[in-house]
Amino acid sequence: MTQQQPPWPSPISSSSSNPRGKCWLILVLMAVLPLVADVGALPFLFTHIKPQINWTQPEMESWVIEEQPRSIEPHLEPVLHPNRTHRALSSDSTDAEFLQRLVSIRHNQTASSRMLWYDVAGGDGLVYPPFVDKALKLLNLKQVAFEIENSVMSKVTCTACRAGAGMLQHQIQSGKTDAELIRMITDYCTNLNIQSARVCQGVAQLFGSELIYVLKRVNLSPDELCSFVIGDGCADVYNPYHEWEVIFPPVPKPPRLPDLPIPMEAAPFFKVLHISDTHYDPHYAEGSNADCNEPLCCRLSSGRPATPNAAAGKWGDYRKCDTPKRTVDHMLSHIAETHKDIDYILWTGDLPPHDVWNQTKEENLAIIKDTVKQMVEMFPGVPIFPALGNHESAPVNSFPPPYVNQVDISISWLYDELDIQWRRWLPQSVTHTVRRGAFYSVLVRPGFRIISLNMNYCNNKNWWLLLNSTDPATELQWFIYELQSAEFSNEKVHVIGHIPPGHSDCLKVWSRNFYKIISRYESTVTAQFYGHTHYDEFEMFYDPHDLNHPNGIAYIGPSVSPYYDLNPGYRIYYVDGDHDATTRLVIDHESWIMNLKEANLYGYPIWYKLYTARAAYNMKALRPSDWNNLLNELTNNQELFELYYKYYWKNSPARPTCDAECKKRLICDCRSGRSHDRKHFCAEVESKIDEESSKSWKSWFYKGLTNS
What are 376-379's contacts with CB under 8 Å, separation 24+? Answer: 376/424, 378/332, 378/333, 378/335, 378/336, 379/336, 379/342, 379/345
Query: In sequence order, what DSSP letters do the residues of 438-475 get, joined into one string?
Result: S-EEEEEETTEEEEE--GGGGBTT-GGGGT--SSGGGH
List the Cα angle 221/205/19 in 5-degree steps: 70
Are 16 and 55 in contact by the 8 Å Cβ rule? The answer is yes
Those residues with Cβ within 8 angstroms of residue 266's Cβ, 6 or more apart along the chain or in another chain: 85, 86
Among the listed residues 450, 445, 410, the one whose alpha carbon sits nearest the alpha carbon of residue 430: 450
Those residues with Cβ within 8 angstroms of residue 672's Cβ, 6 or more apart along the chain or in another chain: 502, 539, 540, 678, 681, 682
How far is 558 from 537, CA to CA, in rounded Å? 8
Identity at 241, one-letter amino acid code = Y
Report how far apart the first and last C-alpha atoms of the chain are (Å, whole number).
72
Among the listed residues 216, 212, 171, the one whose alpha carbon sits nearest the alpha carbon of residue 43: 171
How far is 453 from 460, CA to CA, in rounded Å? 16
- How far apart, in Å, are the Cα atoms of 256 and each of 211, 253, 260, 551, 554? 46, 8, 9, 9, 19
Strand ordering across the sheet containing 269-275: 384-386, 344-347, 269-275, 569-576, 586-594, 607-612
Are 365 and 417 in contact by the 8 Å Cβ rule? The answer is yes
532 known ligand binder = yes
User: What are φ and ψ of residue 344, in 5° steps?
Assistant: -160, 170
498 known ligand binder = yes
Those residues with Cβ within 8 angstroms of residue 528's Cβ, 6 or more apart along the chain or in another chain: 494, 495, 496, 497, 518, 539, 552, 553, 554, 555
3-state helix/strand/coil string of 62-101: CCCHHHCCCCCCCCCCCCCCCCCCCCCCCCCCCHHHHHHH
CB burial string 135-146: b at 16+ within 10 A, e below: bbeebbbeebbe
350 known ligand binder = yes
* H-helix or E-strand spanning residue 592: strand 586-594
Are 195 and 189 in contact by the 8 Å Cβ rule? The answer is yes
Identity at 647, one-letter amino acid code = Y
Binding residues: 277, 279, 350, 390, 498, 532, 534
Binding residues for Zn(2+): 277, 279, 350, 390, 498, 532, 534
